[in-house]
Chain A
Amino acid sequence: MAYPTNYRYTREHEWIEASGKTASIGITDHAQDSLGDIVFVELPKVGDKVEKGKVFGSVESVKAVSDLYSPATGTVIAINEELTTAPEKINADAHATWIMKIGLADPAEIDSLLTAQDYETYVKEETGH
């Protein structure tokens, strides 16, 4: 699956789509594919402070729990409540399924993240193909 070029990515396999001072955050198609069927998403609360590189929630497949790391620092302004009853939406379309939206503390912070091309190269190196 193609990685949207207007998104930025982390080495922990999250994507972020910034629009001015706010941003949507989700996990990548590679992440959902590696996890397998997602059965549980632990969301933050609206108003929570999140910090770049720090855990803000988790996703669980049948086999394992994986932490979610925030790609940027800010305050949670929305969470995707639909994921509490339909976590499989992430498997169906990871890049269209945001997990949380945040108000960015510093929009310029995004620039240091991986581009779609960087991320694809990184995934290839990580998986060896």
Chain B
Amino acid sequence: MKFYWFTWGTVCGLENTLIARTGYTGEDGFEIYIPSDEATSERVWNEVTAAGEEFGILPCGLGARNTLRLEAALSLYGHEISDSINVFEAGLDRFCKLEKGPFLGSDALSKVQAAGGPERKLVGLEVVERGIARDGYRVMDLSGNAIGYVTSGSPAPFLKKNIALAYLPRAFVEPGTEVAVEIRNNPVKAQVVPLPFYKKPKKTSSQS
């Protein structure tokens, strides 16, 4: 199965189970969709955990998962994407083919394109000075003018950096641009960096 594809199969005796080669961590992985009743959930969890024991399988909590998806710059609804953010701003153009329209919203999106693209874009920030940028914090230019906001921000334990995703005007999206994140009333310097923050190394062995 190719990455980002899905199929139906049998998992722990459950037939017609949706299996997707996706994940929300930036790593290779699978998602399986099973009935949500407690007995089934518990059985599948225990069987998967037991089967993975020889590979050193470990459970992972939501907090850890969020740092991984942020390092991989994967969008979270209500943060990087919402009904007031368009697909071009979010950098998700590849999922939206205007030429396949018309569809709901395609007129509005065409106008954005005709106007030369979105006014603001999602960028990656790395906090340069001491401080952790968090969701909702304001981003300012070096003169102290508010120019945007952080959609997701966290220390990234793997990268050992304090990183964030933010919407900034087009003039500020070039990697290397210096800005400041307002952390409890103090401007803390940050720099625009390319996305994703982390990309898993290409496998040398063949993928099956």
Contact = CB atoms under 8 A, between A and B. Distances in A.
Interface-centre pick from A36, A42, A84 (highest chain B CB count, 10 A): A42
Contact of A84 (B130, B134, B157, B184): B130
Contacts of A36: 63
A60 B134 CA distance: 11
A40 B132 contact: yes
Interface in A42-58: 42, 58
A63 interface: yes
A84 B154 CA distance: 17
Size category, B interface: 10 to 19
A63 B184 contact: no
A62 B184 contact: no
A62 B134 contact: no
A63 B63 contact: yes
B155 A65 contact: no
Interface residues of A, number: 10
Interface in B45-76: 63, 66-67
Contact of B157 (A40, A58, A62, A65): A62
A78 interface: no
B63 A42 contact: no
B132 A60 contact: yes
B130 A39 contact: no
Given A60-B132, A84-B130, A42 B184 contact: yes
A58 B130 CA distance: 13
A40 B155 CA distance: 9
Nearest to A39: B155
Contact of A62 (B130, B131, B155): B155
A63 B157 CA distance: 11
Contacts of B155: 39-40, 60, 62
Contacts of B132: 39-40, 60, 65
B134 to A, nearest CB: 6
A58 B185 CA distance: 13
A48 to B, nearest CB: 14
Contacts of B131: 40
A78 B132 CA distance: 24
Interface in A77-113: 84
Given A42-B184, A58-B184, A65-B132, 9 more contacts: A36-B63, A39-B155, A40-B155, A60-B155, A62-B157, A63-B66, A63-B154, A65-B134, A84-B130
21 contacts: A36-B63, A39-B132, A39-B155, A40-B130, A40-B131, A40-B132, A40-B155, A42-B184, A60-B132, A60-B155, A62-B63, A62-B67, A62-B154, A62-B155, A62-B157, A63-B63, A63-B66, A63-B154, A65-B132, A65-B134, A84-B130
